[in-house]
Structure 1
Amino acid sequence: MARPQMLKLPEVLNEIDMSRAAFYRMRARGKAPKLIKLPNGQLRCRRADLDAWWERCELSAA
């Protein structure tokens, strides 16, 4: 079974065109895509979680 694609935080920020500070404010409000903290402290986002977040954004904007 293939492992899910994991995106680094800078890749996520680039894709959603958002600054790190704005992303963390959104995350504090519970509105950001789900992140996974690795044992070394780095953050990752599953591609599926980011795609699901995009869909929720589209539905709430409609």
Structure 2
Amino acid sequence: MPSPKMLKLADVLEEIGMSRAAFYRMRARGQAPRIYKLPNGELRIRRADLDAWWDQQEEQPAA
């Protein structure tokens, strides 16, 4: 089974169009995709976790 695709934080920030500071504020509120910290201190986000986060951001239609 292949390992999951892990994205660098810089790539994620570019994709979602957000600054690092705004992302960290969102992370502090518990609203960011799940993050994995590598032994060297770098941060990674699984592609599947980012896609799931995108799905959660979709606005629900008004009833």
Q: Which residue of 2 aligns with 1:2?
A: 2
Partner of 1:28: 28
Question: What secondary structure sits across from 1:34 in the alignment?
Answer: coil
Give the ranges of 4+ consecutive aligned residues of structure 1 lying more than 4 Å apart after TM superposition.
Answer: none
Q: Matched residues in 2 for 1:5 and 1:56: separation? A: 20
Normalised to the residue count of structure 2, the TM-score between the two structures is 0.93
User: How many residue pairs end up in the alignment?
Assistant: 60
State the partner residue of 1:18.
18
Gaps of 5+ in 1: none
* More helix by percentage: 1
Between the aligned residues of both structures, percent identity stands at 70
Structure 2 portions without partners, runs of 5+: none
Q: Secondary structure at the match of 2:24?
A: helix
Larger radius of gyration: 2
